[in-house]
Chains A and B, each alone.
Chain A
Amino acid sequence: MLLPPTDQSIVARRQAIAAALRAIVPDGVVADESGLATFDADALSAYHQMPLVCVLPSTREQVSEVLKFAVAEGIPIVPRGAGTSLSGGALPREDGILIGMGRMKRILEVDYENGCVVVEPGVTNANITKAVEANGFYYAPDPSSQIACTIGGNVAENSGGLHCLKYGLTTNNLLGVTMVLPGGEIVTLGGKSGAQGGLDLLGLVTGSEGLLGVVVEVVVKILRKAPVTRTLMASFDTVPAAGKCVAAVIAGGVVPAAMEFMDRRAAEAIEAFNQPGYPAGAEAILIIDADGVEADVTHDMARITEIVTACGGRAVEATDEKQRARIWSGRKAAFAAMGRIAPDMICMDGTIPRHALPQVLEEMAQLSDHYGLGFCNVFHAGDGNLHPLILFDVMKDGEFERAEAFGADILRLCVKVGGVLTGEHGVGIEKRDLMTDMFSESDLEQQHRVKCAFDSGGLFNPGKVFPTLSVCIEQGHIHAHGGKLPHPNIPRY
């Protein structure tokens, strides 16, 4: 992995730059080595880099002044929320200012009448729900890192979660943002009305991975919590049967709240880990949630059970909340369970058309043989988002490199069958050099021109997303060693 070369003349000015930032944010500049070490990586923890200096603004005006200063001085900027990115989006630069948004964490307004909440970017995803749940509301996108990740980071990454099939990604749950452009100008895109009166720049900025500016305020939709949620587990003797079932549920007019797939390897590892009661011998297991009002859920569950049976599966519905939680506890422990059976693993994230699942699993098994590494699959089957886990041992010579090559081949396979490189983790540095596998030169040039419309100096998060340098080795991915994940207290699923 190569990043644009460090500008040593900036590094040489480190003290002066820190002093200038202190003049803007007197109590929020981190420049000492031990302080900076906190920020030297995000959740793509195979990669570390100490930032030049870190600034922690508390107001939008401070953000604006910091950006004006950085642009005037030609210093790269890397925005950071909670640092939970799985693709290296917040990896610092040796010659760059890391701008951490964690201090801007006020909930500014809860507006039930309009079904929205106005927050600063450093509020965590889970705290938005916490602020409104007593009144029966919640914020729908639920990335697995939701107890730690911030809404500003969610906007940058267009974060998803288990329930996007029915409730959409971040982009579908945003009404507006206020952001500071690289030149320091503050613009508001949308708002409580959702109306922008011009191009949909809100849609463009969402998922732009910190390349276009810094978000300082966010308006999100909140939804009424569904009165009823029911869960069904279905087991199948073959993977194609499970794949057929997923397609049949969708074609049958049911939109489940979640529809998760696990292959045999994953299910067995999970069963050994926390005994959620997954049936032994099944080649594939689906966990399906339906939510809504009682009448709709009863109807959907009956329909789903019918379809599962018709596809040759065995359906078991959770009879109470405890059993429901138990079924889900297995799925949510998938990463931890894999940590038990292999010293290291990386988690990939691609999306495929649902119908391609059997073919993709078959070809992945061939790749597994080729690279001599084990793998298993958990899969947001409803929306085709695949999370293969590749198992290896970093202490064995060459295994890490083989695991990364295996991972890159899986993503190329996703693209080959009509899918994409990333469904929810972002490109960051991790998949940057695979972008040419998915996009043509003119596709990438068009995106690059859009980037330049915001950031003509190329100072915002340089080296991320776009393969501006010559193609080189692909690296990265979420990397866990000895069963220890980065941010060990955050569940990952």
Chain B
Amino acid sequence: MRADSEAQVIEAVRAARADAAPLEIVAGGTRRGVGRPMQGSHGADLAQLDVSGLSGIRKYEPEELIVTAAPATPLSEIVQALAEKNQRLGFDPADWSQLLGSNGVATLGGAVSADASGSGKLRHGPARDSLLGFHAVNGLGEAFRGGSRVVKNVTGFDLPKLMCGAFGTLAVLTEVTFRVYPRPSHSVTLCLEDMTIDDGLAALRKIGRSALEPTGLAYLPGALLGEAGLPDAGNGAALIRLEGAPQPLEEKVAMAHGLLGRVSARRVEDGIGLFSRIGSGALFAGAVGDVWRVLVAPADAPRVAKDLNASSWLADWAGGVIWLAAPPQDAARIRAIAAAAHGQAMLLRAAPDQRASLGLYAPQPPALAELTARVKAAFDPLSLFNPGRF
């Protein structure tokens, strides 16, 4: 079933509601393999609602730092349009296609619904810090909107936050509005070579706490350096991306050296490309086993990384997220380590049965789980949208 307009989405949802027949919401289809496999009612096949026709930039006002687009707009299209005005999305949306081995076209709505924030999230926050407003159709088949088209707004509940990372379980998005950010003209990625986990992550936190406003702080252990194209960087590399106009950028590079007590650090040739592969999980595309993202407080990352003891892993966001590949039988151990560190282990790539039994995140404490269920029901009381996924 296709819906190419808000009116058609309403019609489709009302029909699904009348039949109590849930829907899988699909546009580009690149993230279908994330979360619990979805099921129709009574074991029936799940009908798809294809919203890929809801595409295109509707209004872009560079001088307002605002862009409004239909949700199925390809990420590449919006990134390109913003780049032409030297701007970009703050959450650095990541395309997980390579990691998940999926075909199709990654879309803006998909990136928001999955909160697929990339390495640049470090500077401007995750998707929820950029989504200002949206239009959607809820599970009652009613069109509604949340938020607005201005940066500073506290009128009513902040519903846009809820849409980010909800994996399409609350409503069918029909339009999204973002604040965007200036894109500095130049960037430099420094590589501190032969760094241990502790020293490497300590260096990244130091830069993260400075006023240098870095836009990428990642640590790659020795085992991953070949895959990352840095085969001669020793036992581990700390990567630092700084941005700015050419002259201030050079001064910031010098300041970073000063902070780290170093004379010079190697510059990575294609830092933008490398951080794109880090933020999208592409470095784990060929890794065997399940792929996880473990979110922790940055200073806990060295200890957590050692406890996880994965053969293939990296840390991004100055340690705020650890990506790893691990055999399926390690799942309980990974979840336990994350829980002990008051973090979250998100199962991003795994076989369907593994995803079915583990879910995207660990179960929440009962009071929070019940609250979450009530909030979901406030949007979609019949669980029509992506049932069971998240």
Please give the residue numbers on chain A whose beta carbons come within 8 Å of chain B beta carbons, in ascending order.
111-116, 157-158, 160, 164-165, 168-169, 171-172, 181, 185-189, 191-204, 206-208, 224-227, 247-248, 250-251, 253-255, 292-296, 298-299, 351-355, 380, 383-385, 418-427, 431, 435, 438-440, 442-447, 449-454, 465
Contact = CB atoms under 8 A, between A and B. Distances in A.
Given A193-B343, A226-B211, A294-B251, A187 B367 contact: yes
B213 A292 contact: yes
A191 B151 contact: no
Contacts of A440: 144-145
Contact of B248 (A191, A199, A299, A443): A299
B63 A250 contact: yes
Interface stretch (B72-80, B188-196, B290-298): B290-298
Contact of B244 (A199, A200, A295): A295
Contacts of B62: 251
Nearest to A426: B154
Interface stretch (B162-170, B232-240, B269-277): B162-170
A196 B369 CA distance: 12
Given A295-B247, A384-B150, A171 B156 contact: no
Given A250-B64, A355-B64, A449-B378, A293 B252 contact: yes
B143 A442 contact: yes
A268 B251 CA distance: 41
B8 interface: no
Contacts, number: 254
Contact of A207 (B157, B374, B390): B157
B161 A200 contact: yes
Interface string B52-78: 000000000111111000000000000
A204 B159 contact: yes
Nearest to B133: A420
Nearest to B143: A442
B148 interface: yes
In this complex, the member of A171, A204, A446 whose beta carbon has the largest number of chain B beta carbons within 10 angstroms is A446
Given A193-B341, A195-B296, A442-B143, 5 more contacts: A193-B342, A197-B344, A250-B64, A424-B154, A452-B378
A453 B112 CA distance: 24
B387 interface: no
Contacts of A419: 148, 150
A423 to B, nearest CB: 4
Contacts of B211: 224-227, 292-293
Nearest to A157: B154
Given A114-B297, A197-B364, A199-B166, A299 B244 contact: yes
A211 to B, nearest CB: 8
B232 to A, nearest CB: 31
B375 interface: yes
Nearest to B253: A295
Contact of B342 (A164, A191, A247, A251): A191
Given A193-B344, A295-B247, A442-B142, A354 B63 contact: yes
B335 to A, nearest CB: 10
Contacts of B31: none
A207 B144 contact: no
A199 B165 contact: yes
A482 B371 CA distance: 48
Given A113-B205, A354-B63, A200 B152 contact: no
Contact of B129 (A115, A172, A196, A421): A172
Contacts of B160: 203
Q: Is chain B's interface secondary structure helix, strand, loop, or mixed overall?
A: mixed
B52 to A, nearest CB: 25
A354 B138 CA distance: 31
Nearest to B251: A295
22 contacts: A111-B297, A111-B299, A113-B298, A158-B154, A169-B152, A172-B129, A251-B63, A253-B86, A255-B181, A292-B211, A292-B213, A293-B248, A295-B255, A353-B64, A353-B149, A383-B152, A384-B152, A431-B155, A440-B145, A446-B142, A454-B371, A465-B156
Interface string B323-353: 0000000000000000001111010000000
A-B CB proximity, top 4 nearest: A203-B161, A295-B248, A295-B251, A195-B295
Contacts of B157: 204, 207-208, 447, 450-451
B155 A435 contact: yes
B165 A385 contact: no
Contacts of B296: 193, 195
Contacts of B362: 197
B365 A427 contact: no
B320 interface: yes
In this complex, the member of B205, B208, B251, B378 whose beta carbon has the largest number of chain A beta carbons within 10 angstroms is B378
A137 B63 CA distance: 32
B371 A420 contact: no
